[in-house]
Structure 1
Amino acid sequence: MSELLLFCLPYAGGSARRIYGDWQAALPDFVTVVPVELPGRGVRITEPLLTRVEAMTDDALGAVIPRLDRPFVLFGHSLGALVGYELARRLEHLHRYPPAHLIMSGHRAPQLPTTSDNDYDLPLPQFRERLRQLAGTPEEVLASRELLEVFAPIIRADFEAADTYRFRSGPGLSGPMTVYGGVDDPEAPPDTLPRWAELTTGHCAVRVLAGGHFFLHQEQDALLSGIADDLAAVRIPRGRTTSGRAN
């Protein structure tokens, strides 16, 4: 049995198993990577799609809680960061299971003012161009109306969840956090990332990598190297050496 669980939440339109399927081989053997699949994709393709972050959080909670037999970390990119943050709040304040570490990626601090673009409601041609701008959907999907019509409902549902999300103040988190961003990410510019620190009393580190919104693929090796360091810090708490003595 590994010492630590890493629950990974997907970005909009993504399958957690597909996004994070090769992470296990790249991370230390004391970690077990657990992709958290949301309804309507992957092995849950036949289940109804969800269009609110609250509903996605409820669903993820049901997948995570039965596995909490050891320390755990939450990772989420873009929409997954919102779900991961709300999941962390519920786990800590309602269920008394605080994450050992929270890793947020590709999303501005959620308490910052935002304007809803209602991207999910765009006509298909404009929707295609919006996806092309984000550079996360394969060109073969964007170039095929048939494929796009298959995947568009999933992406639209996830965009609706992100666009309708509204931050609600409440008790902060108590654990450490790392926030990753892309230097050229227009959805989560680097200057919006440090404000995540306001949401926890623990230490919050910000790491900016090369790339745009999907830097987690463009710079996967660098991201996983950073995450490995984050997980090692969970294994050996800050301020202690491998001998257990305080520095």
Structure 2
Amino acid sequence: MVHDTDPRRGSVATSHPAAPAPLQLFCFPYAGGSARLYADWDSALPPHVRVRPVEPPGRGRRFRETPHDRIGPLVADLLPEVAEARNSPYALFGYSLGALVAFELARTMEQRHGRPPVHLCVGAFRAPHMRRTAVPDYDLPEPLFRERLRSFNGTPEAVLADESLMELMIPILRADLAVADTYRFSGDRPLSCPITAFAGSEDGEVDVSSVAQWRRHTSAGFSLKVIEGDHFFLHERQPEMLRYLSEVLTDGAQDTPD
């Protein structure tokens, strides 16, 4: 609260609600995705939120760089950008593979810098301690790999049919999927920040129960939001998801660290 003690207005103090401190929201894309996914989010989120789309190597402005295929080097690559915000309020959002990246960055920020995010938001990814039991996608032979991409329902048919484009995309997709497929959770204390997890009601890749297990990774509050749609409800139901995300980031705005 802000107390008005201006002597010109007499001795009675009046109170006004304090405006939420600016909150940086770092956003991480799904496998094969780029920072462009989040280009228009600023206009849909509250004014106090500043969206910071993060670009992994191999795409967008970093397309000439070699993509990482393991979680350790990828987190080390992206950490400096997030660490710049360690003295101000920040939150992390990651979708599918981006959820895993955001989680490991949150852990690193808490353990190494003592500055966890004020909130971790994840979508369409199983809880980190749950190992994937299916055959790894990243190592499939080319024809099977392309069919697997088609089954994800996240790559347009026009892109799948464009050989020149696929030649560029497949190395990035294989590297990104390798990050997820080779990841092994190393147990540690849970995060001290709240976690909000989003799940698709008809997600054939990640069921709701495995998303709900994210609750194990926080000692603070946890919430699960199930949204109608498949694995890419981020696109199908984006307005609904952003409305809920706005509520989450506004409710916690007054509790951000100094």
State the TM-score, normalizing by the size of structure 2: 0.88
Aligned to 1:4: 23
Match of 1:96 among 111, 114, 118: 114
| 1:133 partner amino acid | S
Aligned to 1:49: 67
Q: How does 1:10-21 map to 2 (within 5 A)?
A: 10-16=29-35, 18-21=36-39
Displacement of 1:2 after TM fit? 6.3
Displacement of 1:236 after TM fit? 3.3
Q: Which runs of 4+ in 1 moved over 3 A?
A: none
| 1:15 partner amino acid | S
Pairing 1:170–2:194 present: no
Pairing 1:216–2:256 present: no
Number of equivalenced pairs: 237
Distance in 1 between the 2:136 and 2:211 partners? 23
Distance in 1 between the 2:134 and 2:187 partners? 19
Q: How does 1:226-241 map to 2 (within 5 A)?
A: 226-237=244-255
Displacement of 1:69 after TM fit? 3.8
Give per-residue Cα distances to partners, 1:101-131, cap 9 Å, x unaligned.
0001110111123225221122222111111
Check the 8 A contact 1:116/1:163 in 2, yes or no.
no
Distance in 2 between the 1:150 and 1:224 partners? 31
Residues 2 and 32 of structure 1: CA distance in aligned 2, closer, same or farther (over 3 Å): farther
- What secondary structure sits across from 1:121 in the alignment? coil
Displacement of 1:89 after TM fit? 0.4
Return 5+ residue gaps in structure 2 as ranges. Answer: 1-19
Aligned to 2:144: 126
- Which is greater in Rg? 2
Q: How does 1:132-143 map to 2 (within 5 A)?
A: 132-143=150-161
Aligned to 1:63: 81
Displacement of 1:180 after TM fit? 0.2
Of the structure 1 ranges 64-73 and 2-11, higher mean CA displacement relative to structure 2 is found in 64-73
Aligned to 2:214: 196
Aligned to 2:4: none
| 2:237 partner amino acid | E
Check the 8 A contact 2:132/2:181 in 1, yes or no.
no
What RMSD, in angstroms, separates the aligned Cα atoms of the two structures? 1.6
Identity of counterpart residues, as a percentage?
Answer: 46
